[in-house]
Structure 1
């Protein structure tokens, strides 16, 4: 079963002549692949969910259906969490820019975007409180001040840790979308 949210479109990787090779620009898409840290944590979570599902079957066979239902609910929550973890990231379409977090999704229409810039600044390492020096892709909104510049991508998040070339390609892709739609 193909999981379209797991991989970036192959057309983007194959196209070097132009920055936005997508036919359907109204469809939300992530212009980069999820990183190995994100995929690894999701895979381990799904492995844990399989053990919990197996435990639910064993509990149901022993006759305690209500307890099996509780364990089945825990397994479903683990699976939903793993899938949500895989969907996290920056998504673009002709309508705007969407930043999908684990619990919160923010969408900014292109009309409210002034610029998308890559800056050198302290960034969080794998989303933890520890900060290191790195690059960040920031969003400058029309209605926001200097302090309100959300960080979209960093060189040290779960998608780009130790993958600086992938960060540069993803940042260039998001900046290309912003440049194309800012002028229209």
Structure 2
């Protein structure tokens, strides 16, 4: 059965040669999905923010607006923290490699990347002080010594805890980006 609305004039014919957003190498992208631990903590934070927003509305109706404003600002802070938590991780593009932390973001252009490699070493469990034996993806920069750089990702962080295969795929993907765009 022919569908005439599919054969009508195409609006996007001129844009057919433009790559899809996921094919655009100049856009920053995370080469893996956020892990279940990270998503669960962010979901709980957003749930908490919804209760705090509801409390702000109740305070605004029954008490002073200044108190409601403080509670509303607190809920916005919790929402911003949850969104930043979801954004954490390793991002790559044709311009370089970006390591997004909760409070800091470090970007290394591919010209400065000496190596990206997976090593077996003690790693922090979910970012806590406790260390366990695991794998870490390390970035070696030309302008800094290798010992001072924290690992880009580990098998025991919030994205890969209990997902060793996902860590291997993500580490391989970042290493491929480094080989493709790194200095020759």
With the shorter chain as reference, the TM-score category is 0.7 to 0.9
The aligned counterpart of 1:73 is 73
Alignment deviations for residues 107-148 of structure 1 (CA, whole Å, 9 cap, x no partner):
000000011000000000000000000000000101122423
Distance 1:146 1:70 in 2: 44
138-147 or 83-92, which deviates more: 138-147
Matched, 1:166 2:160: no
8 Å CA contact retained: 2:31, 2:170 = yes
- Aligned residue for 2:148, secondary structure, equals coil
Shift of 1:183: 4.3
The aligned counterpart of 1:28 is 28
- Aligned residue for 2:152, secondary structure, equals strand
The aligned counterpart of 1:17 is none
Distance 2:111 2:63 in 1: 59
The residue correspondences of 1:1-184 to structure 2 (distance < 5 A) are: 22-183=22-183
- Aligned residue for 1:175, secondary structure, equals helix
Root-mean-square deviation (CA, aligned residues, Å) is: 1.0
Superposition TM-score, scaled by structure 1 size: 0.86
- Detail structure 1 runs of 4+ shifted over 6 Å in the superposition: none
Alignment deviations for residues 26-61 of structure 1 (CA, whole Å, 9 cap, x no partner):
000000000000000000000000000000000000
The aligned counterpart of 2:16 is none
Unaligned runs of 5+ in 1: 1-21
8 Å CA contact retained: 2:139, 2:146 = no
Alignment deviations for residues 87-119 of structure 1 (CA, whole Å, 9 cap, x no partner):
000000000000000000000000000110000
Distance 1:63 1:162 in 2: 47
Superposition TM-score, scaled by structure 2 size: 0.86
Shift of 1:149: 3.6
Distance 2:99 2:146 in 1: 19
The count of aligned residue pairs is 163
Question: Which has the greater radius of gyration?
Answer: 2
